[in-house]
Structure 1
């Protein structure tokens, strides 16, 4: 069994997220900080700042923050877990009575975006797996929160509380943000209480961060620390421009902020939240219906073009939006709605962030000549039943890989569930398995996995990843 190269990237996710777990998360980048030598300091006497200079009042964010801070809440989640003294699964099954229940607690932040309905936005990773979630308002009230839904791929979750005298933040048009705009982050870092930090927008449209799902982040140097996750990033008008979600520090997230913080744009958060509320906690995504691979120098030579980046279409599925728009194998997608597409992952990221009613213009190279193709997106299935693919897989349900695993370098489909006693169970498939390859045909996602079974192979063999181990599984 080989350990996949993605293990390091997956572990580094704990270092990236701004959430703060009370049961400390040990991430792979943590190192002991070197202690600075103690020195004696002589502090000058500080004079109070004047209220005005030359008759002009000193600028202050206090009036704006007086409107903002009541809408930012602290989120406290609890999860019950069973803990065994044995690392070996055999002994855990042999002595189940020795397992003990432990309560894992974590802290984060949230933003009230609808006072009348009591709707709160936060991060999926703040409340993931929680059995109980409570919210503490800025005025000190602590209330039980009702879970509405969450989307792991964009790290957005929606909760509801019932209370009067709530104050909500208005959402700004985050597409108007520019590098250099002033922003303020509000949250509950390290669980010490509501805290405000300020900075500027360092970058927009940031993507390519390992293990963080579909990405279109606002980058800021406003301090974002563990516990800030789910909190507000606001402009100087007090409007919500982003949901703080991640920070980066090569020493690990618990080492604190170094000025590399990331927030989910308000426009993206708004769209996901509306789907979660209106679709009973479900996010519906669209797909072009193409299978692609990165444009490398070998492919570029074969296609007679320069290798400046792009996603090469290897297959347009029958009946898909791409096929109806005339895309075909050999086309190279270089941009989507004016956004550069430098490879397969960039195209998948763009696709995953579009709403179902989106119209997209693709810049394409065909036989070395540029053209533009306009198309919509068709809803992609969330999962497929194994029996619809092959009788040997009856009882299993297959789903797309979470975007976090794709960004960590994995490609394939996820075994979402396996019915007890089913043929899939007899073939030793387990929930959580990742099917990386199959002799039924090459695939990279759910659509191409299903397409590979147009002609069912006599002998079916999967290469799977289970936990951090890879192996070959014959399916009979």
Structure 2
């Protein structure tokens, strides 16, 4: 008994110290307004898999911390300084309504940025190769026109943003250096609830902070990516941990006791904005797939079943569906198919509306989070075995996954359409508006992608683009015709919500 207690004592001590540190930091922050973290946070070769062998009971976390801390960096996000807009009636409201749903004043405040020599926000990142590739969160780098990376030894670099994926909240950066310490990805499918983990990052401006806890759940879908409105097809299957995570930990490492990377810390569930016991990390297997795609293709390759669906584990969704469709579905496990997209691989394979998906490649599907990661972590052209219930009988079929355009072949950046490259769709401007405001041309921007070229020059949904490269535009086809096969600097003339006209530019990707 004494021997057992002696072995467990280091874990108990770490837990007490971690908890005490968290409380102490929060009290310190509350009393010192000069200490703040402005990062967004919500409620050996290159990258290779390693084993998941855990340390023997009684080992402490010193080895894991020594391995991890040198590979975790601070990321400083610098954005162009803009002034606050005056509170005035937007001339678009009459035609389009308030695009922020009454949150215009909140948006105005958000547009106030830090001085040019001060970062607008800070987060963390993890070095994943000796030659300077760094993984972080999409929200850590969003909107930046300069990204500074600071190593644990205080050496600083200006980073290149290689690519981002809002659907998983992952980004990939690169600094020019060799011989850097880095972390190996572990196989996150092999983690267990109750397993000890460390979270390493830069919370609340406190560099190289290590906290300890356990994995408290797997496969969590918390609705944060879809809730931010930036992810068109979010994949949420987070690792939940009670290791203390706070603002600034975003993009940092979640590691096992061997110091192997099992997740990228991304979010917390909190009513205060600070740690309240629940943190969430993107699983290493998903993060690894995303960065491999970005490095190889320049964009993320994602396969789709091509179904619209209902999560049977969500009692509210089921109740609403039963009410609206006068159905009698029961709450339980699985994903209920309600329809199909055009060129659906699932429909081609014989699935029908009303079928309940229960497994993908023998992995149980209990809810939509399970389905999204099982399918979304694969590429177009991959085949998956789908088990489903039809009239109470289980069946199995093989589905060839497709991209959203119905293709089964990987695409690179060069294969993207003009609107995909610049990150926006365009709708014609109605004649009434043109006449009212004396415009001879114009298209309304829609679906502006976070971090895209259009977003970088300040364009958001429902702005009006009047001209591109000095040529009037009245349809999406006009935009595509002007920029198709175009290389060089693009000039965009546009009107904001207040009726002010700007001309800004970017280099055609």
Same fold (TM over 0.5): yes
Q: CA deviation at 1:358?
A: 3.7
Aligned to 2:75: 75
Q: Which ranges of structure 1 fall in alignment gaps of 5 or more residues?
A: 1-19, 30-57, 92-98, 403-413, 426-466, 468-476
Aligned to 1:321: 345
Q: Name the SS for the 2:339 alignment partner.
A: strand
Matching residue within 278, 284, 289 for 1:266: 284
Aligned to 2:147: 133
> Conserved in 1, the CA contact under 8 Å of 2:334 and 2:366?
yes
Q: CA deviation at 1:218?
A: 0.8
Matching residue within 157, 162, 166 for 1:152: 166
Aligned residues: 357
Matching residue within 186, 192, 208 for 2:200: 186
Matching residue within 235, 244, 254 for 1:233: 254
Cα gap change, 1:340 to 1:63, in 2 (>3 Å): closer
> Conserved in 2, the CA contact under 8 Å of 1:311 and 1:342?
yes
Q: CA deviation at 1:419?
A: 5.3
Distance 2:356 2:449 in 1: 24
Q: CA deviation at 1:323?
A: 2.4
Distance 1:380 1:172 in 2: 30
Please list, as runs of the form range in 1=range in 2, the aligned pairs for 1:398-409 lying within 5 A after superposition: none
Cα gap change, 1:210 to 1:68, in 2 (>3 Å): closer
Q: Does 1:367 align with 2:391?
A: yes
> Conserved in 1, the CA contact under 8 Å of 2:39 and 2:122?
no
Aligned to 1:66: 66
> Conserved in 1, the CA contact under 8 Å of 2:171 and 2:291?
yes
Task: Using structure 1 for the length normalisation, give the TM-score.
Answer: 0.64
Aligned to 1:161: 175
Cα gap change, 1:347 to 1:63, in 2 (>3 Å): closer
> Conserved in 2, the CA contact under 8 Å of 1:22 and 1:105?
no
Please list, as runs of the form range in 1=range in 2, the aligned pairs for 1:259-408 lying within 5 A after superposition: 259-280=277-298, 282-293=299-310, 296=318, 306=330, 308=332, 310-317=334-341, 319-338=343-362, 341=365, 347=371, 350-381=374-405
Cα gap change, 1:257 to 1:127, in 2 (>3 Å): same
Q: Name the SS for the 1:268 alignment partner.
A: helix
Q: Name the SS for the 1:285 alignment partner.
A: coil
> Conserved in 1, the CA contact under 8 Å of 2:186 and 2:261?
yes
Aligned to 2:134: 120
Please list, as runs of the form range in 1=range in 2, the aligned pairs for 1:408-447 lying within 5 A after superposition: 420=466, 421-424=472-475
Distance 2:80 2:428 in 1: 38
Q: CA deviation at 1:200?
A: 1.0
Distance 1:277 1:79 in 2: 25
Aligned to 2:239: 218
Q: Which is richer in strand?
A: 1
Q: Name the SS for the 1:275 alignment partner.
A: helix
> Conserved in 1, the CA contact under 8 Å of 2:199 and 2:211?
yes
Distance 1:139 1:333 in 2: 50
Cα gap change, 1:163 to 1:397, in 2 (>3 Å): same
Q: Name the SS for the 1:167 alignment partner.
A: coil
Q: Which ranges of structure 2 fall in alignment gaps of 5 or more residues?
A: 1-34, 44-57, 92-110, 227-233, 313-317, 406-415, 431-441, 451-459, 467-471, 477-496, 498-509
Q: Name the SS for the 1:379 alignment partner.
A: coil
Distance 1:306 1:25 in 2: 39
Q: Name the SS for the 2:286 alignment partner.
A: helix
> Conserved in 2, the CA contact under 8 Å of 1:385 and 1:395?
no
Instruction: Deviation per CA, 1:76-123: give whole Å up to 9, x if none.
Output: 1111132235122559xxxxxxx997535211111100113x100111
Aligned to 1:437: none
Distance 1:90 1:318 in 2: 38
Please list, as runs of the form range in 1=range in 2, the aligned pairs for 1:248-263 lying within 5 A after superposition: 248-251=269-272, 253=273, 256-263=274-281
Q: Which is richer in helix?
A: 2
Q: CA deviation at 1:307?
A: 5.0
Q: CA deviation at 1:234?
A: 0.9
> Conserved in 2, the CA contact under 8 Å of 1:383 and 1:399?
no
Instruction: Deviation per CA, 1:26-75: give whole Å up to 9, x if none.
Output: 98x8xxxxxxxxxxxxxxxxxxxxxxxxxxxx843223322221111111
Shifted more, 213-222 versus 102-111: the winner is 102-111
Aligned to 1:438: none
Q: Name the SS for the 2:161 alignment partner.
A: strand
Q: Name the SS for the 1:272 alignment partner.
A: helix
Please list, as runs of the form range in 1=range in 2, the aligned pairs for 1:444-459 lying within 5 A after superposition: none
Q: CA deviation at 1:237?
A: 0.9
> Conserved in 2, the CA contact under 8 Å of 1:189 and 1:226?
yes
Distance 1:258 1:391 in 2: 47
> Conserved in 2, the CA contact under 8 Å of 1:73 and 1:112?
yes
